[in-house]
Amino acid sequence: MTTDYSSSPMPKLTFATGGVLVAVGVIGYLASLVGGADSWTALIPAIIGVLLLVSGWIARKNLMAGIHIALLIALIGALGMFMPLQSLGALFAGEAERPGAVISALVSLIVLVIYLILGVRSFLAARRWKKA
């Protein structure tokens, strides 16, 4: 990959993904406040989102390093979303103790997995381009 960020969609995608996760985290936290069970853990998606925004900024200066950092953060974040998803069955049954946390984790996991897939595809395309 080149260090010219205008030739790669990944920095913009990283900013978009980070923004979505910040929104999910803030909305989840505000929803937990309304529910009377405020918890800082509702902000975990927002923290991951901020880290992705920082990685996107790094990618504008050094594309490969920034996107590698962002993909590592996304992978760790996606793995961390599995614990709240253990209550997914209870959510569908209407018996979840914290339904907002489960929904927030599910949305975050979907966003992060899509980002990871697109990031890996970008690296594979860049490798094929270099070989050609």
- What pLDDT is stored for residue 13 in this prediction? 95
CB-based contacts of 41, cutoff 8 Å, min separation 6: 101
- pLDDT per residue over 44-71, tens digit each? 999 999 999 999 999 999 999 999 999 9
Amino acid in the structure at residue 60: R
pLDDT for position 132:
66
Its pTM stands at: 0.86
Q: ∠ CA(70), CA(85), CA(68), 5° rounding?
A: 10
**Residue 2, pLDDT score:** 42
What are the average pLDDT values for consecutive 10-residue runs of the chain, which has 132 residues? 61 96 93 78 93 96 93 96 80 75 90 96 81 70
